[in-house]
Amino acid sequence: MTLNVLFAALPERWEFYRDSLNEAFQSARLEVRLQQDFEPEVIDYIVYAPNGPVMDFRPFTRAKAVLSLWAGVESIVGNSTLTQPLSRMVDSGLSEGMVEWVTGHVLRHHLGLDRYIRGAPGWDPVVPPLARHRAIGILGLGELGQACAHALTALNFPVSGWSRSAKTIDGITCLHDEDGLRRLLSDAEILVLLLPLTPETENLMNRERFSLMPKGAVLLNPGRGALIDDNALIDALDSGRIANATLDVFRIEPLPQDHPFWSHPRVTVTPHIASETRAETASLVIAENIRRSEAGEQLLFLVDRVSGY
C-alpha cells in the first residue's frame, strides 16, 4: 500500500528534505508518496515543523501521527486540534551539533580564551585549573543533555545534571527537585541550559537562582530563550555574579537589534546555531517511525502531552 506523507514545513526546506526522505523511505522498504500538498483527508502521516503551514489538524482525519522535525514541541503540544500522536525529533545530527557547540564554549570559558582573543596585546599569563577542578552543571538530562554530559566527562570535567524527575546515569551526578537544583547551582562554575520549555521551566533562571551561583560563573544557553529572565541575567552580569553569558536562543528570534544583549560586554550572541536538524539524519528517524507505526510498534520519542515534552 502506498502511504501519503505530507511535508508540512517551510517551502524552502523542501529541497533539503525531499531526496533524503525519499531515500530513507526506500531504505525502510516503505512505499510513500511524499508531497507538499494533498487533500487533508487522504494524508497518512504529517512531517511537521512548527513554523510551517499546518496549524489546524482537524481536517487530517486519516493521519496516524505527526512527526516533528524539531526537538522542541512547546509551540504545538498545547494545540487543541492535535489529536494524533506527536513524535519529537531526536537524531544523531542534533546531538552531535549540540555536543560540539557546548564543549566548544565550555572549553573557551574554561581556558579563558577571550582574554587572549579579545584582550589588549601583552604578556599576562593566567593558567587555568585542570578540567577536573572545574564544576559543570547541566539543567536538563534528556537526549541532548546526556550527550553533552558524557562528552564533558570524557574531557575530565566533573558534571552534575538536574532533571525534574530522578535519573541515574553512569559518571554523572544526577539531581532533581528544588533541593537538587539549589545544590547544582551553588556548585556550577559553568552552567548549561538544556531543559525543554514548559510552564514549570519558563523563567527558571531568575534573580534568586542566579544569586545561588558562584561569583564569576558562566552561563551557556543553547536550550530555550524563555528559560531565562532576561532582566535578571543582565543584573547578574552587571553585578559580576555571572562573568559571561553565551546565548544561542532567545524569546524573540531574530534577537531585536535594540536588545541589550547585543551591546553588553559580557554577552556573546550566536544566532541559533548550536544544533540544527540535518536532513540526512532526521529523515532516517522519520522513516523508522513510519515503519514502526505501520508494523503496530510504538513510535520513537513520543511526546507526553501532560509533561509537555
Strand-strand pairing, 3-8 and 217-221: unpaired
| Choice among 13, 105, 164, 224 that is catalytic | 224
Contacts of 117 (CB under 8 A, 6+ apart): none
The torsion angles phi and psi of 278, rounded to 5 degrees, stand at -95, 130
Q: Are 223 and 275 in contact (CB under 8 A)?
A: no
Whole-number Å distance between alpha carbons of 172 and 182: 17
| Choice among 272, 278, 291, 292 that is catalytic | 272
How is residue 308 written as a grid cell?
A: 509537555
E strands in the chain: 3-8, 32-35, 45-48, 65-68, 86-87, 136-139, 159-162, 173-175, 190-193, 217-221, 242-247, 267-269
Q: Are 55 and 30 in contact (CB under 8 A)?
A: no
- 305 is known as an active-site residue: no
- 176 is known as an active-site residue: no
Tell me which residue has cell 512547546: 74
Q: Mind telling me the catalytic residues?
A: 224, 272
